[in-house]
Amino acid sequence: MAQVPSPTIRARRLRRELRRLRDRAGRTAEEVAKILGWHRTKVIRLEQGHSRVMPKDMPPLLDLYEASESERESLTALLRQSRLKGWWSAYGDVLPDDYVGFEAEATSISAFESLYVPGLLQTEEYVRAIVRAGRSTADQDETDRVVAARLARKSLLFRDLPPSLWVVLDEAVLRRMVGGPMVMRAQLARLVEACEMPTVEIQVLPFTAGAHAAMGGAFTLLSYDDPVLDPAVVYLSNDTSTLLLEESRQVARYRLMFDHLRAKALDPDRSADLLTRVAAEVPD
């Protein structure tokens, strides 16, 4: 399976390029809005992703910024690509914000989980158990859509150039009996299988490690092929909301945090051994 360009990434790149051109032109956002007859907050909202860049917005912006012909062609292409729909748009009611759009083009995914197995490594029945526990009012159709969306995400691990996936799991993830013994054994077996995948590394942070850098909760760090064009981002999430962190200082903090977690966790081989032992200990 080939990688398909992500509209989410293209939209972000477009916003960053428009900000770069505005800075080069020496214009403040308020000045641009006033000259173009827009609401004073519109430019900031476009650059921060709170509003979509519309086709009618581009010509006046590019004229005011005195964009070159090549810049116009590049930005027009980005605008067109940003308006396409990724496969995940069909699941917009059950997927978290834009996360999947950012995940779709990542070349490296580093995740710490303290409560449950990361979505990319979940079995279908494990997903269903989590949905039933967290969405007590969900009907069968909604549950099926959540499961279908979660399983569709996993395809990126099997594309022609899959991202590297490095996961640190708190030992509690292994010990929590999600869905009952049969579901949990199958899920642990899936993790053991994933340990053999060339692009996946799994480490377990044992209870004996004590206090650690991510006591505040789970996070995912997404990195891209060109860190200048597409800087890394961090996602924080819970069952009701997600938070995207893009500032380089914030991203660097979480990158260091992940390094500390990897250092305290069991190495991949010992982690695989622990996964196998815990699976064998699951009661019938």
- 201 and 259 in a common domain: yes
- Contact yes or no for 178/126 (Cβ under 8 A): yes
Cα gap 86→180, rounded to integer Å:
35
The residue range of the domain holding 151 is: 96-281
The yes-or-no verdict on residue 238 having pLDDT over 80 is no
- Decide which of 54, 82, 110 is a domain's last residue: 82
pLDDT confidence of residue 97 = 59
The arithmetic mean of pLDDT across residues 133-158, rounded, is 83
Average the pLDDT over 214-239 and give the result: 92
* 69 and 115, same domain (yes or no): no
Neighbours of 128 (CB within 10 A): 19
Residues 20 and 133 grouped into a single domain? no
Q: Does the residue 91 lie in any domain?
A: no
Domain termination residue (choose one: 82, 110, 145): 82
CA–CA–CA angle 150, 281, 220 (5° rounding): 35
CB within 8 A of 192, min separation 6: which ones? 272, 275, 276, 279
What CATH number has the domain bearing residue 257? 3.30.870
Read off the pLDDT of each residue in 82-103 and give the average, rounded to a whole number.
Answer: 85
- Could you give the number of structural domains in the chain? 2
Query: How distant is the alpha carbon of residue 204 from its chain centre?
Result: 21
How many residues are given for the chain? 284
Q: Is the pLDDT of residue 28 over 90?
A: yes
62 shares its domain with 129: no
- Tokens 């500390």 belong to 260
Q: What is the pTM of this model?
A: 0.90
Please identify which residue in the block is written with the tokens 């594309």.
Answer: 159
Do 221 and 234 meet the contact criterion of CB atoms below 8 Å apart?
Answer: yes
Share of residues in the chain with pLDDT > 70 (%): 95
SS3 254: helix
Kindly state whether residue 135 falls inside one of the protein's structural domains. yes
Average pLDDT, the chain: 92
Q: Are residues 71 and 209 in the same domain?
A: no
Q: What's the half-sphere exposure (Cβ side, CA atoms, 13 Å) at 172?
A: 11
- Tell me, yes or no, whether 2 lies in a domain: no
Do 182 and 54 belong to one domain?
no
Domain boundary among 39, 54, 82: 82
Calculate mean pLDDT across residues 18-36: 96
Q: What is the pLDDT of residue 139?
A: 78
Same domain, 215 and 171: yes
Position 185 confidence tier, pLDDT thresholds 50, 70, 90: very high
Provide the CATH number for the domain around residue 76.
1.10.260.40
* pLDDT given at position 284: 80
The pLDDT of residue 136: 60
Q: Find, among 206, 244, 203, the residue nearest to 103 by Cα.
A: 244
